[in-house]
Amino acid sequence: MSKGTFLFGAAIGGAAAYVAAYLFAPKSGEEYQLELRDKAEMLKESSSDYMSIAKERGGDFKAIATDAAVGLKTDVQLVSKQLAEQLKMDSQILKADLKDVKDGVPGSKETLKANLSEAVNEAKYTAVNLKDQVSQTTSEAKDISKAVVDEAKMEIDEAKVENNPVDTF
């Protein structure tokens, strides 16, 4: 085989390879770069959308927590005030009952026991009432938080559909 024949065969083989690569390549380098740039931009936009959703929902959770804390604080203050007034009245009644016991008034021991029992029952009722109010406020905050989470999930799903993130390159 001569050098000329070999070079001619190599040139024909190279040309055939070039034509085959050109015909069967899905896209040119520039087209591929443009597609990659567009997909990268889409990903950037979708991550920006997700970040704004997260920030918005974080603000919602902060507002829910603040409202719940204010509600709990108000409940505790109200019940504490009621309890203080209750204890003040009960202590005056019990003080008078103790004086009667000391002075030997007939039936004063039974009255003292009855009034003491009533004071304890009122304190228990107030404590149960506070517990119920706290439980209700907490439950409401949980329900609102769940609704916010569900809404955020829907927004994320919508953002996914809008941005149609890149699956493959």
pLDDT tens track, the chain, 169 positions: 566 677 778 888 888 887 787 777 777 778 777 887 888 888 788 778 778 887 888 788 788 888 888 888 888 888 888 888 888 888 888 888 778 777 877 887 888 788 888 888 888 888 888 888 888 888 888 888 888 888 888 888 887 777 665 555 4
CB 138 within 8 A of CB 68: yes
Query: What does pTM read for this prediction?
Result: 0.51
- Distance separating alpha carbons of residues 115 and 48, to the nearest angstrom: 66
DSSP E strands: which ranges in 6-161? none
| Close Cβ partners of 35 (under 8 Å, ≥ 6 residues apart) | 27
Cα 156 to the center of its chain, rounded Å: 14
* Residues whose CB falls within 8 Å of the CB of residue 141, separated by 6 or more in sequence, listed in order: 64, 65, 67, 68
User: Which pLDDT value is given to residue 167?
Assistant: 53
R_g (Cα) of the chain, nearest Å: 40
